[in-house]
Amino acid sequence: MENKEALVNYCLRIGDSSLVLAQRLAEWCSNGPMLEEDIALTNISLDLFGQSRMLYNYIAELNGKGETEDSIAFGRNERAFYNVLLSERPNGHFGDTIVRGLLVDAFNFHFYTQLQNSKNETLAAFAEKSLKEVTYHLRHSSEWVVRLGDGTEESKEKVQASLNDLWKYTDDLFEMNEDDIVLVADGIAIDLTAIKPLWLETVTSVVKRATLTLPENGYMHKGSRKAVHSEYLGHLLCDMQYLQRAYPDAKW
């Protein structure tokens, strides 16, 4: 296959973002504000784990070197993970998690909508399946942002602060590198500059309904395309990879 390396990198980026966010959301289990939210956040987490597994299996197939979904998930260090910076942000309080969800879900919604038309059939099918899931995720996060924004004074203040805090990681979602350029030319990848206005429209309309204020664009953190992360990611991986690293010969 032509441009195989670019395709592998592209899949890693999507798969890692799903995996890391799934791992974060799973931390809510038994910690939610109500049992219903333990269940809802677990649902989203399970969808995202499923998405990452599909892509890791595809990568293993593309590389043909005997990798598995697990060797890909558990065998790499933080400098080889390409998840978007937002996905590794700590859960914080429920409002932080929900806002992080909105920003990522709105991106995923538009991204998968377009990726359905990819000339790569595997990615197109993956996008179609994932779109159904992220449509629900986006509804869940949007409804909660609205409830928290238009709930009590305390909740409004909290969720506005979450939005202001997390805003600076949003440009990272839209970064494009050589892989994008090559794959966009092939009709496989999505031009992210075209997604950005759609994403902004979705986020803006939710923010409005929530009676919140869209943050000003200030300094933006980036780095995920080069696998340069915050300190948080190393700890997340350390936890996640512990058994595979401690007992490399064991099968589970």
Partner 1 sequence: MSDLDKFLKKIENNVKIEPKDWMPDGYRKHLQGQMSQHAHSEVIGMQPEGNWISRAPSLRAKVILLAKIQDEAGHGQYLYSAAETLGKSRDEYINELQTRKAKYSSIFNYPTLTWADMGAVGWLVDGAAIVNQVSLQKTSYGPYSRAMVRICKEESFHQRQGYEIISHMALGTPEQKEMAQDALNRTWWPSIMMFGPHDADSARSGDAMKWGIKVESNDELRQRFIDKTVQQAELIGLTIPDPDLKWNEERGSYDFGEINWDEFWAVVNGDGPCNDQRIDHHIKAHEEGRWVREAANAYAQKNN
**Which of 3, 122, 155, 164 is the binder for partner 1 (CB under 8 A)?**
155
Is residue 244 part of the contact set for partner 1 (CB under 8 A)? yes
Only segment of 102-110, 112-120, 142-150, 168-176 that touches partner 1 (CB under 8 A): 142-150
Q: At CB < 8 A and 24+ separation, what contacts does 12-16 make?
A: 12/55, 12/59, 12/72, 12/82, 13/82, 13/83, 13/84, 13/224, 13/225, 14/51, 14/55, 15/51, 15/52, 15/54, 15/55, 15/56, 15/59, 15/72, 16/52, 16/81, 16/82, 16/83, 16/87
Q: How far is the CB of 181 from partner 1 (least distance, A)?
A: 31
Residue 27 phi, psi (nearest 5): -65, -15
Is residue 73 part of the contact set for partner 1 (CB under 8 A)? yes
Is residue 38 part of the contact set for partner 1 (CB under 8 A)? yes
Compute the distance between CA of residue 176 and CA of residue 115 in angstroms, rounded to an integer: 15
Only segment of 27-35, 133-141, 181-189, 192-200 that touches partner 1 (CB under 8 A): 27-35
Contacting residues toward partner 1, per CB under 8 A = 23, 26-27, 29-39, 42-43, 45-46, 49-50, 52-53, 56, 69-70, 73-74, 93-95, 146-148, 150-152, 154-155, 158, 239-240, 242-244, 247, 249-252
